[in-house]
Amino acid sequence: MKNADPRLNDIKDEIKNIKKILVRYKGQEKESGEKTRKTRGEARIDELRERHAWLLLDAGEYHEGLTLYKTLPWGTYGEEKYIGISRALIELEEYHEAEKFLIKRLRRFPGSGSLLVARGLLHRRLGDDFAALEDFQSALTLTPGDRHALYDQAISLNSLGYYDEAVSILRKLVKKYPDDPEYLIEIGYSLLEQGNPQDAIQYYLKANKTGYESPNVYGGLCCAYIDLGMKTEALEIASEGLRKFPDKHPGLYENLGEAYRDMGWRDDALDILNKGLEKFPNDERLKSLLKEIEDKDDNSDLNNKLRLTGVFVILSEFLKKLSKKRL
């Protein structure tokens, strides 16, 4: 089984190497007995700590990354420290703290495109994609062509339903960075929402070929196959996605439930949706799909009963008339 993101292996390897170098530098500094701030070795230690902190955030180790960022000196790493801490706070869903932090730091660094992107990410997490777009656009004014700001801008455009505009941005990013799986997945989503599942499939498959695996890849492919009426393919990809990510996203249970329903396997659909609700008891989409299937079956049973009742009435009347003729 592949890792969810092969880049995480590289991140973890680099973190290990950084830790080894840090230990070596600390030992050298201790042996030399130098006290002057900053010695070359200490400066290198700070540089490695900053890189280490960012890699920890990339690896999803937000608490550890936040702690390490707080140890960096403000004088040399002020802007990097602001960006890293704000990112960690947002990922940890400490939105109020992140907002206060960004307001103060943007006053000090009003021309920081990275801090504007961070505030845009915060606005998006809070559900205000229009405010997020303003921040991303301001960041792009300061740093034209910044790939991160463009990507985040495309995500917000998708969230607001501006799929044509998002596709236009993402096509340029994919052309320039053809092996970045996140761009491939996002353009796949855009095309799917545009009603173009055939092209969406191509981008999702390209993302998968990079070695990057995500619930979004399997979810997107399943939805595209369902839209195209490819029931077997939808069932296979939904099953594979749930097998690889059983605890990651309730949508994978929903996808498999839909695939089972399309195959006419009612009991399997209900079973997998109930399993999904065991893991994600508050997911409204799972509840809604489960109720929809149950209600449809109940209505079908009722209709069948009514039809059978009607047949029995007709047969009864026919038998009565037949009896009278015999008498």
pLDDT digits (tens, 9 = 90+) for 85-123: 988 999 999 999 888 888 888 888 888 888 899 999 999
The encoded tokens of residue 268 equal: 């399997």
Residues in the chain: 327
Class of domain 1-110: mainly alpha
Are both 111-211 and 214-327 of the same fold? yes
Domain boundaries, the chain: 1-110, 111-211, 214-327
**5: nearest Cα among 196, 210, 304:** 210
Per-residue pLDDT in tens (0 to 9) along the chain, 327 residues? 334 455 556 666 666 677 677 677 666 655 555 544 456 667 777 888 888 888 888 778 899 999 989 888 887 887 788 889 988 999 999 999 888 888 888 888 888 888 899 999 999 999 999 999 999 999 999 989 999 899 999 999 999 999 999 999 999 999 999 988 999 999 999 999 999 999 999 999 999 888 887 889 999 999 999 999 999 999 999 999 999 888 888 889 999 999 999 899 999 999 999 999 998 998 899 899 898 988 875 555 444 444 444 444 444 454 444 444 433
- Give domain 111-211's CATH superfamily: Tetratricopeptide repeat domain (1.25.40.10)
Tell me the C-alpha distance between 320 and 174, whole Å.
Answer: 76
Tell me the C-alpha distance between 89 and 84, whole Å.
Answer: 9
Torsion of CA 209, 210, 216, 218, to 10 degrees: 20
Q: What angle do CA 78, 80, 86 make, to 5 degrees?
A: 100
> Could you tell me the sign of the dihedral formed by the alpha carbons of 294, 297, 299, 301, in that order?
negative
3-state class (DSSP) for residue 290: helix
Q: What is the pTM of this model?
A: 0.72
**54: nearest Cα among 93, 75, 78, 81:** 81
Q: Does domain 214-327 have CATH number 3.10.580.10?
A: no
Place of tokens 């990922």: 91
- Tell me if the bond preceding 305 is cis, omega within 30° of 0: no
